[in-house]
């Protein structure tokens, strides 16, 4: 009998992950159009545990674009567009030692409106230079095609992914960037956290809720349209660039049954099925029966032609997921909009995100059993408050404690036989929070001296956890 691995593979990819919209800034430079993230607002009058990107209406979009006083931090990010060379030195072989670097391409830099037939050359050139610098610093690029950066124009004129026209717009974009970067980028994720359609819905799908009659139906139709485009891009890549790997990504975090009552256990299974639905389509190639039943039970009418069903048979090469927390599900919460809630048995960060290292091992096993594809954890981390001490440094033992516990569980999953190929800590350099648009919710190993209002020097200061993660990478996960 073949023995399973007991250590991380020698070619394991230790990395860090970012999103263009949360760090680049320069939101109107070099021909870039507005994207959905450019209207994510920071507000300091909302309870910390209720700060997230809510549904968006056409009225909100209009008011956001007209406002001169409201704060939209992702427009400025951390000025990475102008500082990337120095930042990548801090992250690469002569700094933190990352083996791989995940980022996204801002769709609105390449097609400012989204429906053009020709791309913006200045936007393409920026990413040429960025990927060259990533490689120069000894890191393997992994690139996300869509990470909450849909051109805002498509939400105003086409109802985002709900409109069938967007399928071909995005496919064109995917083909353009594959053609341009396929020699530099061998690992691609088409859509970030594709299962986030109830949470982060507008950021992901770009569907204003007042532009459709049935919001839930529109969301599921939109994500089915998106998966059709994903399959088209996958087909194109497999036919033209066989050495390129195409991946799909979920937001991970299983729901546990709230009690041992059979009704709660069954409801939790159904909830998790509808979270895994997107992986089942993009890795197995068809709409599963449980999803068809779910749509029928809710009287949702999803359009999918025979030709589109055929396209879905073009499946991805690897599976990836983010992992931040787990939740509880009950019969009542499932029937109340397929919702879940926090587990009171677990500790949580100030934003109410539970901390559950064992859940990561559970999920790795579940996903590998389900798909039998190579797995990459493409986001993991914890948002916390950090402040430099009297010595000017950031002492963050709480962060190393969090990562140590999760990496230990990753190693256990490898011993379980899981084919885990890489791990990407989320935001090794402090960036603007996705869900709350705060700088004060910090994930990084490197402190960025900016506050929630964009004030500060912008100076980069390695935290104590920087040296810790560097040793983890150098020892290939043996020294924690």
The set of catalytic residues is 379
SS3 at position 45: coil
How many angstroms separate the CA atoms of 303 and 263, rounded?
A: 31
Fill in the DSSP letter of residue 31.
G
Angle at 360 between CA 357 and CA 361, to 5 degrees: 100
Six-digit token string for 6: 């007991």
DSSP 300-330: ------HHHHHHTT---SEEEEEE---EEE-
Six-digit token string for 464: 């104590």
Backbone angles phi, psi at 248, to 5 degrees: -120, 160
Identify whether the C-beta of residue 463 lies closer than 8 Å to the C-beta of residue 90. Answer: no
Six-digit token string for 249: 């990504």
Q: Taking every pair of C-alpha atoms in the chain, what is the biggest distance, in angstroms?
A: 67
Helix (H) or strand (E) holding 295: helix 289-297
Helices 289-297 & 262-284, crossing angle to 10 degrees?
120
Burial class (CB in 10 A: 0-12, 13-18, 19+), 377: buried
Identify whether the C-beta of residue 441 lies closer than 8 Å to the C-beta of residue 452. Answer: no
Identify whether the C-beta of residue 223 lies closer than 8 Å to the C-beta of residue 281. Answer: no
105-126 as b/e: b if 16+ CB within 10 A: bbbbbbbbbbbbeebbeebbeb
Six-digit token string for 371: 């798909």
Helix (H) or strand (E) holding 323: strand 318-323
How many angstroms separate the CA atoms of 51 and 125, rounded?
A: 35
Identify whether the C-beta of residue 23 lies closer than 8 Å to the C-beta of residue 434. Answer: no
């Amino acid at each position: 009998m073949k023995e399973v691995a007991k250590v991380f593979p020698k070619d394991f990819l230790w990395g860090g992950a970012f999103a263009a919209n949360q760090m680049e800034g320069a939101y109107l430079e070099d021909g870039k159009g507005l994207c959905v993230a450019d209207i994510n607002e920071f507000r300091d009058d909302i309870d910390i545990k209720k700060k997230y990107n809510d549904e968006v209406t056409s009225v909100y979009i209009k008011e956001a674009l007209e406002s001169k006083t409201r704060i939209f931090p992702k427009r400025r990010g951390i000025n990475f567009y102008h500082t990337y060379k120095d930042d990548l030195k801090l992250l690469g072989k002569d700094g933190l030692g990352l083996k791989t670097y995940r980022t996204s391409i801002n769709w609105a830099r390449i097609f400012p409106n989204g429906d053009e037939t020709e791309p913006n050359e200045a936007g393409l050139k920026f990413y040429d230079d960025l990927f060259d610098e990533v490689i120069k610093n000894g890191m393997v690029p992994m690139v996300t095609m869509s990470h909450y950066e849909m051109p805002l124009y498509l939400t105003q004129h086409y109802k985002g992914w709900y409109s069938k026209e967007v399928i071909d717009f995005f496919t064109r974009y995917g083909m353009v960037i594959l053609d341009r970067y396929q020699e530099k980028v061998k690992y691609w994720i088409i859509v970030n956290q594709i299962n986030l359609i109830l949470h982060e819905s507008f950021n992901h799908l770009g569907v204003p809720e007042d532009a459709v009659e049935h919001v839930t139906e529109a969301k599921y139709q939109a994500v089915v349209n998106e998966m059709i485009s994903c399959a088209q891009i996958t087909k194109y890549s497999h036919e033209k660039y066989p050495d390129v790997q195409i991946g799909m990504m979920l937001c991970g975090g299983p729901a546990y049954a709230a009690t041992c009552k059979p009704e709660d256990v069954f409801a939790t299974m159904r909830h998790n099925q509808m979270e895994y639905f997107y992986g089942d389509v993009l890795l197995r190639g068809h709409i599963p029966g449980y999803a068809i039943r779910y749509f029928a039970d809710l009287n949702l009418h999803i359009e999918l032609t025979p030709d589109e069903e055929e396209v879905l048979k073009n499946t991805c090469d690897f599976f990836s997921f983010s992992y931040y927390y787990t939740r509880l599900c009950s019969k009542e919460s499932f029937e109340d909009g397929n919702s879940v809630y926090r587990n009171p048995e677990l500790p949580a960060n100030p934003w109410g995100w539970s901390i559950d290292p064992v859940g990561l091992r559970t999920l790795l096993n579940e996903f590998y059993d389900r798909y039998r594809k190579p797995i990459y954890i493409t986001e993991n981390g914890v948002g916390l408050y950090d402040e430099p001490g009297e010595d000017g440094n950031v002492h963050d033992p709480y962060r190393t404690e969090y990562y140590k516990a999760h990496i230990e569980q990753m190693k256990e999953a490898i011993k379980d036989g899981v084919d885990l190929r890489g791990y990407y800590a989320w935001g090794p350099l402090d960036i603007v929070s996705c869900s709350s648009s705060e700088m004060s919710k910090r994930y990084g190993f490197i402190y960025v001296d900016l506050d929630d209002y964009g004030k500060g020097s912008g100076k980069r200061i390695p935290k104590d956890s920087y040296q810790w993660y560097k040793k983890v990478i150098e020892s290939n996960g043996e020294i924690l």
